[in-house]
Amino acid sequence: MSPPLRYLPAYCGLFAAQVLALTCNAFLDIRYGIFGTEVQLWAFAFAITLRVGWQQNGEISKRGNRWMRTTLVFGMLLSLLLFIPMWRFPRAAIYILAMLQVSYNCITTSRRHLHLSLLMSVAMVLFAATHFRADWAMFFYLIPYVTAVVFTLVAEQINRTVSELRRQSLGDQVVGAQGIAIAAATTVILALGLLLYTITPQVSWPALAWRWGLPGNVNTLGDAQTGDDGMPAGGGGGTGDNGWGDGGGGGSMRPGWPSADELRATAGQTGMPEWQRQAINGLADLADGLQALMKPVIDSLRQLAEALIAMLNELHESLIRLLYILMALAWLYALWQRLRQTRLPIWLRTRFDYFRLVLLTMHNDELQGARTCYEAMARLFELHDIKRGRFVNTLEYQAEINSHYLHLRRETEEITRLYEDARYGGLVGSSQVERMRELYRQVFQLIGKRTRESY
């Protein structure tokens, strides 16, 4: 069963959504001078019937059913005598839907009724927004409509949650906090919607005309033909024989925000409400001011861009050469990283050490020669996955070597002892360095033999 609807702000939001949805459709006939009267009549009808629905306190009563039947009969008479002869279909169907909305308000007492009423208003707004007479000036009513719909849904949801908490005795009634929560949630949802609308591409009629060959501007015939009474020949709504008509109305079909002159031209339309006329003229004045303010900045940016393009054209060859160099460096760096993974550099270095120390006996005497032999041995074991850390002393490194290559213990310990004597005792000569070179040769040959036997 759908939860009952008793929250007055939700009814107020629904009233605003219905009035604004009807206003969008009445805006299509704004040039005929009945815009304000039409909106006031519909607002009165929505207000009276929604008041009936709210007074039932979440349960449909006999009074609500009686009001619904009465307004339904009245709506049928209006549809047959006024809406269909004046607007014809499909435009008349929107006003028939509006009368059904008026009748349905009398029994709007639950959440399901609320959602269905909002859905009906969405259908009315979609019809108005896609009509050929709709232009950017309808945003004065579309944006408040979206705000009203979001506010209504948020208010109903938060009030229902608060009511459940109150029934569970988890808190007292906090009207202020509830109002703040509704305002905050509504603001966040509208901000996210605006962000998504901004970042997503919008399809326009000129774009469709260019892409698919559709007529790019259906509003080229000027005003609709009118009869002796000043109303369109096809009916009072000025929509021609089929409800769509070929009369003028909408603004420019080109994409983008209208210019200041187009804004003022829109503000000068017949039947435009005074507050909307003043707002549009204010936007036009603001656009002129911003254009005058930004013109020097735009000119400077344009000159800067032209100078930058000229400089880039002059440096074209240099940039291409630099790009090739960067690509070569990147390739060499990738090759070096690959070679490091394959251990080729350390393998080549150990072979060079053997060739230099053993075959050519090219080494220094005393401390430098001892260090050269010891480092060559360390690189040899690093090739076989025993790398000496930066903070590992020679004794710890020797212990690690013995744990993996016990058969080389005598040679490695003697090389280590001679290296330590050269470092701290200073007792080193050509004979000691020659001995370390011979021990290195034995380690090189024995470690290779052990490796081959392990495979």
Task: Give me the tens of pLDDT residue by residue for the chain, a chain 455 residues long.
Answer: 678 888 888 899 999 999 999 998 888 888 787 888 888 899 999 999 999 988 888 888 888 889 989 998 998 998 888 888 888 888 889 889 999 999 998 988 888 999 999 999 999 999 988 888 877 778 888 899 999 999 999 988 888 888 777 777 555 555 557 788 888 888 899 899 888 888 887 766 566 566 665 554 444 444 443 443 334 443 334 444 344 333 334 444 444 567 667 777 777 677 677 777 778 777 777 777 777 777 788 888 888 888 888 887 777 778 788 888 999 999 888 887 777 666 777 787 878 888 887 887 776 667 778 888 888 888 888 878 788 877 888 888 888 888 888 888 888 888 888 888 887 876 667 788 888 888 888 888 888 665 444 43
Q: Where do runs of H (alpha helix) occur along 355-408?
A: 366-383, 394-404
Cα separation of 181 and 175, whole Å? 10
At 237 the pLDDT is 40
- Tell me the HSE value of 59 on the side-chain side, using a 13 A CA sphere: 2
Query: What's the confidence (pLDDT) of residue 171?
Result: 52
What residues are paired with 110 via a beta bridge?
4
- Torsional class of 257: left (φ above 0), alpha (ψ -120 to 50), beta (otherwise): beta
- Helix 91-105 to helix 8-26 angle (10° resolution) is 160
> Angle, to 10 degrees, between the axis of helix 111-129 and the axis of helix 139-167?
170
Widest CA span in the chain: 128
Using alpha carbons only, how large is the chain's radius of gyration in Å?
44
User: What is d(CA 106, CA 60) in angstroms, rounded to the nearest whole number?
Assistant: 9
Total residues found in the chain within this entry: 455
Instruction: Select from 249, 292, 226 the least CA-distant residue to 27.
Output: 249
Q: What letter represents residue 316's amino acid? A: H
Six-digit token pair at 437? 């070179």
* Rounded-to-integer distance, Cα 435 and Cα 28, Å: 106
> Which sequence spans correspond to the domains of the chain?
8-212, 344-454
**Angle at the Cα of 124 from the Cα atoms of 39 and 77, rounded to 5 degrees:** 65
145, 24 in Cβ contact below 8 A?
yes
DSSP 90-142: THHHHHHHHHHHHHHHTT--BHHHHHHHHHHHHHHHHHHHTSTT--GGGHHHH
Q: How crowded is the C-beta side of 242, counted as CA atoms within 13 Å?
A: 4
User: φ and ψ at 44, to 5 degrees?
Assistant: -65, -45
Residue found under tokens 């036997």: 453
Buried b (16+ CB within 10 A) or exposed e, 375-396: ebbbbbbebbeeebeeeeebee
| Distance (Å) of CA 183 to CA 141, 225, 240, 301, 441 | 20, 47, 44, 41, 84
Amino acid, single-letter form, for residue 227: G
* 254 φ/ψ sector (left φ>0, alpha ψ -120 to 50, else beta): beta
